[in-house]
Structure 1
Amino acid sequence: MRLTIFGATGRTGGHLVRKALAAGHEVTAVVRGQHALADHPRLRVITADVMNPNDIATTIRDADTVLDTIGSREKGPTSVATDSALAITEAMASVGVRRLILISNSARVAGTGDDWFTRFVVKPLILRPLLRHSLDDMAGAEQATRDSAVDWTIVRAPQLTDRPAQGSYRTAIERSVTFGIRISREDLAACLLDLAADPGSIHQHINVAN
């Protein structure tokens, strides 16, 4: 596949780039400036302003799938994820590319699949207040994606870790992964690549965890 990856220099995006290349895909990595991505014959690195649809349209034009791994590192109010999702979906529409996979967060949605303590205490009373700014931004990115005309898959992940990959992960469609507390970034990257090749995941919210 031809993949365009936004957030390619982030900790999750970096794993995604490496795994995609190892699997034989052609990768366009969109970066904001200086980067440490190693040269590879199937890797094209493009510097672009992800908030400008016109600037990123050329990075998307030939893609089979676009993967948005952008998240904010700000602790206060932020709209980085929302604004980038709006720009990416607009750029995709302008060049006729439809397949998009967006990383989001599972802490915002408490419900089916969660154990009682997580559903009624951990998520609403601990995680929601603690992460409210980033979760609000993720909610905006999800809504922007759903409102677009793209063939989207939204992947909701729990706490991300830099631990070595377990080589497996659990998923749940339109519900939480029971006791899905965390996932390694490398396993999350593997899940994203698997979903990119799975048309059955289009227009679904996929929760993932180790």
Structure 2
Amino acid sequence: MRLTVFGATGGIGKEIVTQALAAGHDVTAVVRDPARFAVTGTGLGTGLTVFRADLTDPVPLREAISGRDAVLSGLGARKRSDAGITTRLTQAVLGAMEAEGTRRLVVVSAAPVGPEAPGDGLLDRGMRSMISAILKDVYADLRAMEAALAASATDWTSVRPPKLTDKPLTGVYRRVVGGTPRAARTIARADVAHAMLACLDDPATVKQGVGVAY
């Protein structure tokens, strides 16, 4: 597939690019600063295009999206003070996609944005409530982003992980379409990227939130 990846310098974005290239996809990695972007591994440079762009304006983004089969986004706030940025940047991506007629979009969100898992115990409910209170502005931003997705003409999927780690790719995790896995506590960024790529060809995930966790 011909893929465009936004947020390619972030932890999940780099994993998406690396895994997509390893799978033989043609990848355009959209970055603000190419000096911050690097992928490693034998043969991973094949099929890679690095596209420099300011993500706030949909007009120049159209070139990065034109003719692509799908778009994946690892965009997100890196600290609490960045709250609001995810919605703004995603709206620019949506504008470019709609202008180019590109429909398939997979983004990363967060588990607290999705529904509470049936059967979660007191500990998990308490942790979810505490984290949601601490990061309320970040999660409000993600909810606004998901509202923008729902209002768009794209065939979107929002992948919602819990706490992220930097552990290696396993390819083994739980996934709930339209819900949240019970006792969802952690997952590696590499496995979130794996889940996002797996959603591309799965029609059951279109216009759905997808909870993932170990």
- For the aligned pair, the TM-score class normalised by the smaller chain equals over 0.9
> Contact 1:31–1:46 at 8 Å: present in 2 too?
yes
Kindly report which structure 2 residues correspond to 1:22-37, keeping only aligned pairs within 5 A, or say none.
Answer: 22-33=22-33, 34-37=35-38
1:206 aligns with 2:210: yes
> Contact 2:28–2:50 at 8 Å: present in 1 too?
yes
Deviation at 1:75, TM superposition (A): 1.8
Kindly report which structure 2 residues correspond to 1:133-172, keeping only aligned pairs within 5 A, or say none.
Answer: 133-172=137-176
Deviation at 1:200, TM superposition (A): 2.4
Look up the equivalent residue of 1:104 and give its one-letter code.
Answer: S
For the residue of structure 1 that corresponds to 2:36, the secondary structure is coil
User: Equivalents in 2 of 1:108, 1:52: separation in Å?
Assistant: 26
Kindly report which structure 2 residues correspond to 1:12-161, keeping only aligned pairs within 5 A, or say none.
Answer: 12-33=12-33, 34-38=35-39, 40-76=45-81, 78-113=83-118, 115-117=120-122, 120-124=125-129, 126-161=130-165
Q: Which deviates more, 22-31 or 76-85? A: 76-85
Gaps of 5+ in 1: none
> Contact 2:21–2:46 at 8 Å: present in 1 too?
no
Q: TM-score, normalised by structure 1?
A: 0.94
User: Equivalents in 2 of 1:94, 1:129: separation in Å?
Assistant: 37
Deviations 1:84-110, CA, capped at 9 Å, x for gaps:
111111110001100001110012345
For the residue of structure 1 that corresponds to 2:199, the secondary structure is helix
User: Equivalents in 1 of 2:59, 2:37: separation in Å?
Assistant: 25
> Contact 2:61–2:96 at 8 Å: present in 1 too?
yes
User: Equivalents in 2 of 1:119, 1:4: separation in Å?
Assistant: 36
> Contact 1:167–1:187 at 8 Å: present in 2 too?
yes
Look up the equivalent residue of 1:20 and give its one-letter code.
Answer: A
For the residue of structure 2 that corresponds to 1:76, the secondary structure is helix
Aligned residues: 209
Match of 1:182 in 2: 186
User: Equivalents in 2 of 1:109, 1:194: separation in Å?
Assistant: 19
Runs of 4+ off more than 3 Å: none
User: Equivalents in 1 of 2:48, 2:67: separation in Å?
Assistant: 14
> Contact 1:110–1:119 at 8 Å: present in 2 too?
no
For the residue of structure 1 that corresponds to 2:81, the secondary structure is coil
Match of 2:7 in 1: 7
Deviations 1:102-148, CA, capped at 9 Å, x for gaps:
11001234523351325642222x01111112111111111111111
> Contact 2:113–2:160 at 8 Å: present in 1 too?
no
Deviation at 1:74, TM superposition (A): 2.5
User: Equivalents in 2 of 1:99, 1:67: separation in Å?
Assistant: 8
> Contact 2:177–2:204 at 8 Å: present in 1 too?
no
Deviation at 1:21, TM superposition (A): 0.3
Q: TM-score, normalised by structure 2?
A: 0.92
User: Equivalents in 2 of 1:110, 1:121: separation in Å?
Assistant: 14
User: Equivalents in 1 of 2:168, 2:161: separation in Å?
Assistant: 17
